[in-house]
Amino acid sequence: MRSKRRKDERTNPDLVAEESIKKNADLGGFCVDTIPPKGRGVRTEVHRNKGDFLLTYHGELITGEEGNKRELMSVSVFRFFFSFKGKQWCIDSTLEVKSGQFLGRLVNHGKGKEQNCKMKCIEVNKKPYLCLFAQRDIQTGEELLYDYGVSDLPWKSPCQLLTVKSQAV
């Protein structure tokens, strides 16, 4: 006998993430928006519940060593370093996909209570994938924000103003 699924039950968010990864596509219901003074960011177009899968951080999966080499050649805010099964890895999302899909790379850093999602590593077909999940309920139109987990981000340091003296002509 089949059991009926109750209305208030939802699909396991990890399984939703896995299906999105296998389809190689973001879920619908997100948009890119200009968010001063940050630049671009991602907003949800529908209400999200705490625990929901949101987006995958897509890019090229490389070793942590290769990621560090690339950082020495050109610093990028789109390289995400992480550990998986005792090894260091990096997802290099420096190159933006022209189609406008794969929005996870555009989710901005948030601090404290403004954070509404968190990054989680899940394994699909023996490969690691970084996925964003709702840390709390997220309202329609709200910007997605998570803690990048890096303490020395350039925008966390106070700007130093330089005084330029003009010379009389």
DSSP 3-state of 62: strand
27 within a domain of the structure (yes/no): yes
pLDDT tens sequence for the chain (169 residues): 444 444 456 789 999 999 999 999 999 999 999 998 889 999 999 999 999 999 999 999 999 999 999 999 998 889 999 999 999 999 999 988 776 678 999 999 998 889 999 999 999 999 999 999 999 999 999 999 999 876 554 444 444 444 344 444 3
Q: What is the CATH number of the domain that holds 145?
A: 2.170.270.10
Q: Is residue 22 in a domain? A: yes
What is the reported pTM? 0.82
Q: What is the domain count for the chain?
A: 1
- CB of 96 closer than 8 Å to CB of 162: no
Residues 6+ apart with CB under 8 A from 155: 109
Structural domain contains residue 63? no
